Amino acid sequence: MALAGSAPSPPSPARGVRAWTRARLPQIMVLLFAPAIPELLTGSTPISNLFFDPLQFAISFGFDIGLYGTGALLIREFVVHYRKGWASTLLLGAAYGIAEEGLAVHTFTQPGGNPVGLLGSFGHAFGVNWIWALGLTVFHATYSIALPLLLVQLWYPAQREVRWLSRRQVALTAAIYLAEVGFFGFLAPHGPAPPVLALFLALCGILIALAYWVPRDALTLRPGPARIGPWGLMATGSLGFLAWVFVLISTGIGGLPAPVTAAIFVAIDVAALALVLTRVGALDAEWSEFYFSTGMLSMLFLWDIPVEFSVPGILLVAAVFAYLQFRLRTALRARLPPPGAPRREAGGAVPE
């Protein structure tokens, strides 16, 4: 107990670290969720390395944060700064996908091997794996960018319109992101030929321009309550990943031509978007977003069951995200009325 008149003791370093972390927890969650969902939950970055080779895992996941995490933060800052909506988020997420897979790690032009497999030849033309490129662009837009941002927004709704980064921090984040894209682009083999490189750069520029010009309400939910229940929302959220599973199965069987496979893939994704825009209402929007995101994650949980045999421990990652969804549902129940109860309509739109 301090004596009367004595100076108060300075805060401990541990307390200062806790306060700093608590104040920046939404940003930290974006930095971690953005790489963890597409990398750890799919087995692309094996969680088993954390136990067998922790240094290699730390380096690998550190690079994942430097790519996915900074990309997601930059996209969020763009959307908040220019007062845009989910349409801009998805367009920028697509640009991110092209930058990662086309300009950085070169899977769009990789002729075979891990990870493209048969998709290095199925749908390959003019030096580009078009079916793989289409699927990975959609996957990154939805799972690598939109889903992490949506989950953090549900956890911290008061942060929805708040900018997190100063101009200097935006510049630093962009420098880290561009440096990593350049670093991988220099090291990765199978780089695109100059005309293809120009195409990828042009597509990124067009998507960024569209994200700037598209109206904020481009994917606005219709007024009123949802016309679809929780199970229907989860099923709708699962359609995007199911479309990719269809591509993988179709490629393995070889029963459909590549253009038909691509058309069916696009049709499934468009059907999911149409269901969201026609069946989900602005009332209880946060509950709808929760169940939709749960459907997206559930497909990865199911994916992890067979992957566990080749990537031991991946089901632990699925269990962590399932627990976080359970905690999120508890938080929503504490602050929101149950679905269908009278409440103010929420603006905006949901992803996919």
Which residues neighbour 242 within 8 Å (Cβ) at sequence distance 6 or greater? Answer: 268, 299
N-term to C-term CA, the chain: 57
Instruction: Specify the DSSP element, H or E, that contains 261.
Output: helix 258-279
Residue 261 lies in a domain: yes
Encoded tokens for 162: 């708040």
Instruction: Specify the DSSP element, H or E, that contains 81.
Output: helix 70-81
Q: What is the DSSP string of 138-206?
A: HHIIIIIIIHHHHHHHHH-GGGTT-----HHHHHHHHHHHHHHHHHHHHHSSSPPPHHHHHHHHHHHHH
Residue 218 lies in a domain: yes
Query: Please, are residues 222 and 281 in contact by the beta-carbon 8 Å criterion?
Result: yes
Residue 10 lies in a domain: no
Greatest mean pLDDT among 10-24, 189-203, 253-267: 189-203
Instruction: Specify the DSSP element, H or E, that contains 125.
Output: strand 124-125
d(CA 108, CA 116): 8
How does pLDDT run across 26-83, given as a tens digit for each residue?
Answer: 999 999 999 999 999 999 999 999 999 999 999 999 999 999 999 999 999 999 999 9
d(CA 62, CA 57): 8
Which residue range(s) make up the domain with 166?
26-335
Which residues neighbour 317 within 8 Å (Cβ) at sequence distance 6 or greater? Answer: 36, 40, 41, 47, 304
Residue 138 lies in a domain: yes
Specify the 3-state DSSP secondary structure of 18.
helix
Residue 5 lies in a domain: no
How does pLDDT run across 107-133, given as a tens digit for each residue?
Answer: 999 998 999 999 999 999 999 999 999
Residue type, 102: G
d(CA 310, CA 312): 6
Tell whether the model's pLDDT for residue 195 goes beyond 50: yes
Q: pLDDT at position 2, please?
A: 43
Encoded tokens for 142: 């939805």
Residue 184 lies in a domain: yes
Residue 351 lies in a domain: no
Which residues neighbour 164 within 8 Å (Cβ) at sequence distance 6 or greater? Answer: 26, 27, 73, 76, 77
Query: Please, are residues 123 and 132 in contact by the beta-carbon 8 Å criterion?
Result: yes
- Local structure of residue 222 (DSSP, 8 states): B
Note the pTM of the prediction, 2 decimals. Answer: 0.91
Instruction: Specify the DSSP element, H or E, that contains 213.
Output: helix 194-213
Q: What percent of the chain has pLDDT over 70?
A: 91
Averaged pLDDT, 272-289:
94
Q: pLDDT at position 349, please?
A: 42
Residue 17 lies in a domain: no
Q: What percent of the chain has pLDDT over 90?
A: 83
How does pLDDT run across 322-347, given as a tens digit for each residue?
Answer: 999 999 999 999 988 876 665 555 44
How does pLDDT run across 196-254, given as a tens digit for each residue?
Answer: 999 999 999 999 999 999 999 999 898 999 999 999 999 999 999 999 999 999 898 87
Domains held by the chain: number: 1
Chain position carrying tokens 């509950």: 287
For the chain, the maximum distance between any two Cα atoms, rounded to a whole number of angstroms, is 84
Specify the 3-state DSSP secondary structure of 334.
helix
